[in-house]
């Protein structure tokens, strides 16, 4: 299957969304939703964009374990054992200096609900000053374009790791987005703040330049884990399983296991864009695995 999320390009996502009904396999439309919460002096808002429903066929999760093993984990958590549902969410950060978006979901061309969710949150596209990208798979960058294929955030700088930008420019499926956003992109090297209180940290493996974002305001902090973990159940309870979404599976597994161990030990508040909306909570160690503890409902 290769790197499936690279294959789930914006075009593929758009076709699936246009054809799909609720709970059909593939991306599903959702009603706009926005949930705002404080982080120190900042106002953060989780924005719902779509749902991704996948069959339990061991082609994405549990590639090395098989559908029966995956189904057993799902059933033990009170979930249907024939499908795996992931949210597609976006995080907005409002401060005195502007509005920052962390990723953009699949966006308007994929029939995502980001525009409606932004409206619910009182955020106009023109007020967005920066867009920070964890990685360039279509369900994180599709929202950079509006329904007409134009840049969706005309006053915003797009920031991503230099490794990720180089990789994106070489992908045919990303050519349309690259053409539109090139003049707005400012690449960075992870490890130093890109904006006051926001620091990207390398977390390679899912993609060549995947990063997570540490957000700090006073004594409060939150970590956007990007696609370090996808499922709030499978990724936490079986972090050692192969995930076809990961382009470099051994590196991604090591990053996932090390990150989960650290987050649980430190009781870190996190935001996970594919966990159930709004995707804000903490990781708890339970036995030899981990559990998701939502902080917002």
Which of the residue ranges 3-7, 131-135, 264-268 would you say has the lowest mean pLDDT?
A: 3-7
Where does 181-297 show beta strands of DSSP type E? 185-188, 198-202, 211-217, 220-224, 270-271, 280-286, 289-294
DSSP secondary structure, 41-82, as one string: TEEEEEEEEEEEEEESSSSSB-TTT-HHHHHHHHHHTT--SS
> Model pTM?
0.92
Cα–Cα distance for residue pair 85/83, rounded to 1 Å: 7
* R_g of the chain, CA atoms, integer Å: 18
- Residue 25 banded pLDDT, cuts 50, 70, 90: confident
Is residue 268 pLDDT above 70, yes or no? yes
Cα–Cα distance for residue pair 49/4, rounded to 1 Å: 20
Average pLDDT value for residue range 100-123: 95
Cα–Cα distance for residue pair 116/48, rounded to 1 Å: 9
Residue 145's DSSP bridge partners are: 151
Average pLDDT value for residue range 260-286: 98
Cα–Cα distance for residue pair 87/231, rounded to 1 Å: 9
Q: What confidence score (pLDDT) does residue 149 get?
A: 94
Average pLDDT value for residue range 189-198: 98
Residue with structure tokens 């967005």? 128
Q: Considering the chain, what percentage of its residues have pLDDT values greater than 70?
A: 92
Q: What confidence score (pLDDT) does residue 56 get?
A: 97
Average pLDDT value for residue range 188-192: 98
Task: Tell which wins on pLDDT, 224 or 287.
Answer: 224
Is residue 154 pLDDT above 60, yes or no? yes
The per-residue pLDDT of the chain, averaged, comes to 92
Q: What confidence score (pLDDT) does residue 167 get?
A: 95
Cα–Cα distance for residue pair 52/27, rounded to 1 Å: 4
- Residue 23 banded pLDDT, cuts 50, 70, 90: low
Task: Tell which wins on pLDDT, 96 or 34.
Answer: 34
Q: Which CATH architecture has domain 4-294?
A: 4-Layer Sandwich (3.60)
Contact by Cβ (8 Å): 274, 89 = yes
Contact by Cβ (8 Å): 235, 102 = no
Average pLDDT value for residue range 89-105: 97
Alpha helices in the chain (DSSP H): 4-7, 10-19, 67-76, 114-120, 138-141, 162-169, 175-181, 234-237, 249-266
Q: What confidence score (pLDDT) does residue 278 get?
A: 98
Is residue 145 pLDDT above 90, yes or no? yes
């Amino acid at each position: 299957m290769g790197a499936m999320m690279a294959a789930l390009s914006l075009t593929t996502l758009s076709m699936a969304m246009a054809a799909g009904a609720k709970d059909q396999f593939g991306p599903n439309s959702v009603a706009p939703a926005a949930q705002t919460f404080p982080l120190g002096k900042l106002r953060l808002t989780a924005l719902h964009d779509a749902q991704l429903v996948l069959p339990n066929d061991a082609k994405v999760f549990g590639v090395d374990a098989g559908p029966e093993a995956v189904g057993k984990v799902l059933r033990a958590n009170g979930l249907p054992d024939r499908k795996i549902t992931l949210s597609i969410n976006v995080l907005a950060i409002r401060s005195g200096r502007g509005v920052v978006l962390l990723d953009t979901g699949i966006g308007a061309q994929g029939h995502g609900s980001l525009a409606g969710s932004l409206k619910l949150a009182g955020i106009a596209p023109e007020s967005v000053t920066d867009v920070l990208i964890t990685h360039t798979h279509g369900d994180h960058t599709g929202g950079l374009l509006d329904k007409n294929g134009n840049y969706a955030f005309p006053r915003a700088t797009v920031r991503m790791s230099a490794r990720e930008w180089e990789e994106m420019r070489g992908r045919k499926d990303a050519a349309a987005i690259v053409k539109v956003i090139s003049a707005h992109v400012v690449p960075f090297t992870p490890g130093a703040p890109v904006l006051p209180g926001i620091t990207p940290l390398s977390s390679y493996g899912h993609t060549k330049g995947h990063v997570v974002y540490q957000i700090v305001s006073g004594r409060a902090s939150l970590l956007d884990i990007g696609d370090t973990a996808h499922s709030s159940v499978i990724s936490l309870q079986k972090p050692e399983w192969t995930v076809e979404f990961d382009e470099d599976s051994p590196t991604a597994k090591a990053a996932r296991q090390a990150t989960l161990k650290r987050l649980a030990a430190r009781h870190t508040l996190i935001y996970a864009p594919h966990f159930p909306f709004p995707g804000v909570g903490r990781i708890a160690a339970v036995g030899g695995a981990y559990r998701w503890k939502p902080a917002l409902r």
